[in-house]
Amino acid sequence: MRRAILSLLTVHLCPATVLTELNKIAGANGIGRLDIVENRYVGMKARGCYETPGGTIMLKAHRAIESITLDREVAHLKDELMPKYAKLIYNGYWWAPERVMLQTAIDQSQDVVNGDVRIKLYKGGVSVVGRKSDTDSLFDSNIATFDDDGGAYNQADAEGFIKLNALRLKMASLRQSRQP
């Protein structure tokens, strides 16, 4: 299996070929099997058993790269939009203007998503064991530390932030204490 995964890294393949190869590798490792009960558009519930071995790996790897290249708020907004996007497609609205509009937003969010991901497959599980983007990573280990960061982050600054965020909780507590 290791040899097959390494070959995907060293050869430039079209997306369909990558998915085919990942389906073989991941399928042999029991990855990507789903057994779900769906709420169909017409109102009934239906059981669905699916196998998406290559897609499971691709999604895990893509999300790993997004985690270091997408701005926090862009990532959160994209995560909020994805269920709506999926619902539109599931219900057959591929050509609907709202799906096209969402596609434009999602495509724009992906402009900076690039890099390399190392994945480990083990007994039906997929684990990210490394990720990097040489050009668009927002992760900087010099800043994301509680050690000396060269002045990038002053822990004393958090005091005001904490007080402001706690203000609504204080107000709720005061209101609650005044009630009989």
What is the span of the domain harbouring residue 79? Answer: 2-134
8 phi and psi angles, rounded to 5 deg: -65, -30
CATH code: domain of residue 52: 3.90.1260.10
Q: What is the pLDDT of residues 116-126, one digit of tens each?
A: 999 999 888 99
pTM above 0.75, yes or no: yes
| Same-domain pairing of 147 and 166 | yes
| Same-domain pairing of 112 and 174 | no
Contact 80, 73 (CB under 8 A): no
| Same-domain pairing of 45 and 96 | yes
Say whether 91 sits in a helix, a strand or coil: coil
| Same-domain pairing of 15 and 99 | yes
CA-CA distance, 34 to 113, in Å (whole number)? 27
CA-CA distance, 140 to 145, in Å (whole number)? 9
Q: Which residues pair with 119 in a beta bridge?
A: 128
CA-CA distance, 126 to 143, in Å (whole number)? 29
Contact 69, 115 (CB under 8 A): yes
Average the pLDDT over 47-58 and give the result.
94
| Same-domain pairing of 160 and 95 | no
| Same-domain pairing of 92 and 153 | no
Most confidently predicted of 36-45, 93-102, 138-147: 93-102
Measure the CA angle with vertex 111, ends 75 and 101; round to 5°: 75
Number of domain units in the chain: 2
**Sorting pLDDT into bands at 50, 70 and 90, what band is 139?**
very high
The length of the chain in residues reads 180
